[in-house]
Chains A and B, each alone.
Chain A
Amino acid sequence: MELDEKIASGDESNPCISKSTRLPRKRFYRARAHSNPLSDSHFPVPVSPHHVEYSLHYPHFYPSSDSQSNPKKIEFADVGCGFGGLLISLATLFPETLMVGMELRDKVTEYVKERILALRVTNPGQYQNVSVVRTNSMKYIPNYFEKAQLSKMFFLFPDPHFKEKNHRRRVISPFLLDEYAYVIRPSGIIYTITDVEELGEWMKSCLENHPLFEALTDEELEADPVVKLLSSATEEGQKVSRNGGLTFIAVFRRIVPAV
């Protein structure tokens, strides 16, 4: 974490960091809007969930590199976290829950990483429970999480991939839901939101047709504070509401069907 020092020493000359808030400035982290999830990846991937380096991601909770000493595991995963807006809101709402953002775009991951480090410095004691990894979650979810490890998974404003030929690149698909069902514990919740109606329909029908998921009732949606954050906390959601667009939410619970 060499960045800690950089910020702590008050490096005023770094233009990537805002002088007033000490946060990284988004315009220096411009990236493509899309990334091909099918291409071969060349970034390091943990061999198995045991190899995830908790002490690097959560030094406050894991002061030693011996991750076995602490039974605390990541519970929330924001898949395709983008610039990390939701994670930042969740970090203070669930201060004792470890959460991770997963993002395929290198630069965006870099931005979120610096954002979190800067927030940790300016708000001592806070944001210690949030981190980010650069990975292709469509390929490597089982490398990060054990069976039934997660209690919440987020898929916010994913790439719509309109062409039918490219539907297999969508992050919610019948086959990938099998893997998500594996890492989410029973009664854990999967949150999806999009501003593309066609994709909203697709995600909803994938989840409805999956035997291991069931929709939350309207009352449950109303009672869940996280649902409100889906559109308000994310950069993408704010953009949509600025433009007066519609959003489509699908929130489902992992169930264990009676045999």
Chain B
Amino acid sequence: MEDDDTMITTTEDNKNNNKEPIESEVAPAIISVHPAHLSVAVAVGSDLRIFNLRDGCPITLKDELHKESIRAIRYGANGKVFVSAGDDKVVRIWDTDSWRCLYTVSTEKKVSAVAISDNGQYVCYADKFGVVWVVELDEFNENQAVVQKKASPLLAHYCSIITSLEFSPDGKFIVTADRDFKIRVTVFPKKPLDGAHEIHSFCLGHTEFVSCLAFVYNQDCPQGYLVSGSGDSTVRLWDHTSGLLLHTCEVGSQVGQQQANGTENDYFAITDLRATPDGSSIFVAVQGLPGIMLLSCNLSAKRLSVLKVVSVIGEDFIPTSLGTSLTSEYLWMVMGVSNLPGFNSSSLARVRVISGLTKCNSESGDDHYNILEDKQVPCGEQLLQQLQGSLSIDKDVFSAATEAVKTSMRNLLIKKQYSNERRDFRKRGRNDKKGKK
């Protein structure tokens, strides 16, 4: 989408000496938790760090690793496989038992999101051209060599980066969100390798890029509803079967009130969200908000409301990615970036954990959510050593990381706006006019 256009801009900018400082590509840290809480994975840049929660030991990956920033990691719903992918255009599918790489898939474009069908049979990934691809996994045995797989195209958003990819809880639909404000609900077909042609609905209402999707459901409402977070600082609740917008929760204004200390910033993009297993609450990570926002979700009334901000005392922790499992009471959060411009330390990853997700929140209100101290997290400092790379983290690194994440997200997802003069100037330098005098 920006291929030839940006090329023109950069050359012109160079000529004019008014170019903005070149920012090296920064990837935010991401986290994923095994559905049965057997292990937890953090990706920072090209680094993939896994910790085995069942045995309490770090896992060393022996197979070939990613060469460039990892952008998406995820466990399958049955926990058997784990997928990692990103800028190096190779999707790696791992066995979560032996932690050996079972399959690799070469992709044409950089990968922006991954998902695994509930039965673990299909792995889907989305690329920067807006195409979603599907790979069928067959029975594997532990000792097989790495198998190279070929993917088939499943569906596409027209040349718009896909930011999030989710299967519906009943497995009927695959939902895709893009940077053109769209959420598309597509019927996941019986033969996905032939493509998914039947669009069930579009969920339209966001006015900026959509950054994250999640389903909320419980026993009373097993098909669930869709929640989405966006660059327009809202979290929205949708009936994905009809595309109907059920409720909009303005998170940005709430954050503004929280930060009464006068920091002039009215832009609060949602970076990630996760629902609790009972579907009653949603944790929302907001750019520029230290701590994490807690929304209550009333599925029968179809409403969202801001409960409070769970703040982290002692450090400016702004999570970039969240993870939960189906069974445990923990919400895992990571803040981090692949590289920090102007700092010696190459990357940053800070992991924090909130407990109390499975406790019933009937009369106790919402005060049972605790941010755990480093010694209290499952497996303690040994885990942090593995996932963070180090135990102590410099204070000023945090603010630099926050800025770096902001810029990288802005560069990736927000449409560049040019002034009229600038646009006229660009048109003057167009190649197709040069022949004529």
Binds A, one of B197-205, B268-276, B349-357: B197-205
Decide: A176 near B197, CB < 8 A? Known: A38-B3, A40-B415. Answer: no
Verify if A179 is at the interface (C-beta below 8 Å from B): yes
Q: How far is the CB of B20 from chain A (nearest CB, A)?
A: 17
- What range describes how many residues of A lie at the interface? 20 to 34
As a 0/1 sequence over residues 26 to 48 of chain A, the CB contacts with chain B under 8 angstroms (1 = contact) are 00000000001111101000011
Q: Is the CB of A48 within 8 A of B204?
A: yes
Q: Which residue in chain B gives the minimum CB-CB distance to A136?
A: B158
Q: How far is the CB of B50 from chain A (nearest CB, A)?
A: 35
Q: Is the CB of A40 within 8 A of B2?
A: yes
Binds B, one of A123-131, A138-146, A152-160, A197-205: A138-146
Decide: A182 near B155, CB < 8 A? Known: A42-B417, A143-B204. Answer: no
Q: Is the CB of B205 within 8 A of A168?
A: no
Pick the contact of B201: A42, A138, A140, A147 (CB < 8 A): A147
Decide: A139 near B199, CB < 8 A? Known: A47-B207, A168-B129. Answer: no
Q: Which residue in chain A gives the minimum CB-CB distance to B130?
A: A175
Bound-state CA distance A174–B204 (Å) is: 23
Which residues of B202-233 have CB atoms within 8 Å of chain A's CB atoms? 202, 204-205, 207
Q: How far is the CB of B207 from chain A (nearest CB, A)?
A: 6
Interface residues contributed by chain B, number (CB under 8 Å):
33
Residues of A contacting B416 in the complex (Cβ-Cβ under 8 angstroms): 40
Q: Is the CB of B202 within 8 A of A142?
A: yes
Determine the main DSSP class of B at the interface with A: loop
Q: How far is the CB of B186 from chain A (nearest CB, A)?
A: 8
Verify if A220 is at the interface (C-beta below 8 Å from B): no
Bound-state CA distance A48–B153 (Å) is: 27
Verify if B5 is at the interface (C-beta below 8 Å from A): yes
Q: How far is the CB of A25 from chain B (nearest CB, A)?
A: 24
Bound-state CA distance A21–B218 (Å) is: 66
Verify if B131 is at the interface (C-beta below 8 Å from A): yes
Q: Which residue in chain A gives the minimum CB-CB distance to B203?
A: A48
Verify if B156 is at the interface (C-beta below 8 Å from A): yes
Verify if A120 is at the interface (C-beta below 8 Å from B): no
Residues of B contacting A48 in the complex (Cβ-Cβ under 8 angstroms): 202, 204-205
Verify if B1 is at the interface (C-beta below 8 Å from A): yes
Pick the contact of A175: B4, B5, B131, B205 (CB < 8 A): B131
Q: Is the CB of B197 within 8 A of A212?
A: yes
Query: 8 interchain pairs (CB within 8 A)?
Result: A147-B199, A147-B201, A175-B158, A178-B186, A178-B198, A181-B198, A182-B202, A211-B194
